[in-house]
Amino acid sequence: MKSFVAYIEFDPETQMYVGIVPGIPGAHTQGASLDELHENLKEVLELCLEELGEDDLDSMPRFVGVQQVEIA
């Protein structure tokens, strides 16, 4: 089992949740609810990982964290 971090935003214009898994080319999707988005992310990750070899996955960037940056 592998674990991935997804960035999730809500688009008020389309009323959809949008998710992207950084570092995995093509791993982005949307859903009308967070549950739907979660299922869609799992599906798109499975498809993306089929295209990548194990060596490719090991050499991809890894999520470290997020920082809040304040500006005046």
Per-domain boundaries in the chain: 7-58
Beta carbons within 8 Å of 13's beta carbon, 6+ residues apart? none
- CA pair distance 31, 24, nearest whole angstrom: 19
| DSSP character at residue 32 | S
Amino acid at 65: G
Tens of pLDDT, residues 17-68: 999 998 888 999 999 999 999 999 999 999 998 888 767 777 777 778 888 8
CATH code of the region 7-58: 3.30.160
pTM: 0.80
